């Protein structure tokens, strides 16, 4: 299927090659394609390795999206809403797989925002009322997202969203990437739970000295 990844950061750099290797067509969205190709050496390297990747502005990338495919939100958490709101009309009818975290990694004193009584996943769904937002993969380091076995064969990946068909489409992609324990937590409100797991992820990573970890719900 056609997959548009909004964002050129680490998540894009890991997911794009994995999605290409699964046979998907991938278009990457950025604020300014020319600036990204000249000023983002990590992305330039990715593009050199994968000439089949297309880079476009956020708007053009969304315009190229297919309603039977997926749009991945991999934009910096604090910038997500401002970046996505102007794309709302173009994203109508699309499944948006949201991997964002409501956390500002550039600030040492950062807190989760929103938290407890709201989540970034819900805020994105409100900002994109015509889209089907599915929160997932946000409980992991980018390297683990398309390859659970980097950590272990059977840890848990969570999905949250209001639309069952959208969750099935995302679930199919997760299965293709090797996820076996896909736990549908329920509606978009449940994104609060997985977004708040970031604090545990940060502390567990520090305690273990590695980002390569995952969560397992034992039952």
Which residues contribute to the site for ligand NAP (CB under 6 A)?
7-12, 30-31, 36, 74-77, 79, 83, 99-101, 103, 138, 141-142
> Closer CB to ligand NAP, residue 79 or residue 168?
79
Least distance (Å) between residue 79 CB and ligand NAP:
3
Least distance (Å) between residue 132 CB and ligand NAP:
19
> Closer CB to ligand NAP, residue 8 or residue 132?
8
**SS (HEC) of the chain:** CEEEEECCCHHHHHHHHHHHHCCCEEEEEECCHHHHHHHCHHHHHHHHHCCCCEEEEHHHHHHCCCCCCEEEECCCHHHHHHHHHHHCCCCCCCEEEECCCCCCCCCCCCCCCCCCCCCHHHHHHHHCCCCEEEEECCCCCHHHCCCHHHCCCCCEEEEEECCHHHHHHHHHHHHHCCCCEEEEEECHHHHHHHHHHHHHHHHHHHHHCCCCCCCCCCC
> Closer CB to ligand NAP, residue 103 or residue 132?
103
Least distance (Å) between residue 187 CB and ligand NAP:
21
Least distance (Å) between residue 10 CB and ligand NAP:
4
- β-pairing, 2-6 with 156-161? unpaired
Residue corresponding to tokens 């937002």: 133
Least distance (Å) between residue 12 CB and ligand NAP:
6
> Closer CB to ligand NAP, residue 22 or residue 142?
142
Q: Are 54 and 28 in contact (CB under 8 A)?
A: yes
CB closest to ligand NAP, residue no: 9
Least distance (Å) between residue 64 CB and ligand NAP:
16
> Closer CB to ligand NAP, residue 109 or residue 219?
109
> Closer CB to ligand NAP, residue 165 or residue 203?
203
Distance of CA 153 to the CA centre of its chain: 21
């Amino acid at each position: 299927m056609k997959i548009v990844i909004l964002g050129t950061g680490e998540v894009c750099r890991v997911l794009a090659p994995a999605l290409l290797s699964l046979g998907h067509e991938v278009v990457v969205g950025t604020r300014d394609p020319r600036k990204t190709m000249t000023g983002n050496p990590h992305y330039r390297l990715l593009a050199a390795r994968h000439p089949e990747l297309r880079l476009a502005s956020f708007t053009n990338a969304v315009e190229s999206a297919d309603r039977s495919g997926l749009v991945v939100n991999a934009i910096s958490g604090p910038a997500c809403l401002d970046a996505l709101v102007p794309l709302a009309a173009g994203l109508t009818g699309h499944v948006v797989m949201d991997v964002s975290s409501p956390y500002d990694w550039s600030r040492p004193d950062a807190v989760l925002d929103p938290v407890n009584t709201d989540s970034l996943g819900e805020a994105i769904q409100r900002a994109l009322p015509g889209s089907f937002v599915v929160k997932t993969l946000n409980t992991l380091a980018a390297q683990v997202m398309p390859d659970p076995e980097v950590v272990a064969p059977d840890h848990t990946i969570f999905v949250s969203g209001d639309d069952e068909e959208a969750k099935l489409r995302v679930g199919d992609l997760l299965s293709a990437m090797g996820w076996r324990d896909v736990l549908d937590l329920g509606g978009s409100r449940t994104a609060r739970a997985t977004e708040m797991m970031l604090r545990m992820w940060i502390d567990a990573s520090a305690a273990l000295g590695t980002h390569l970890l995952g969560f397992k719900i034992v039952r």
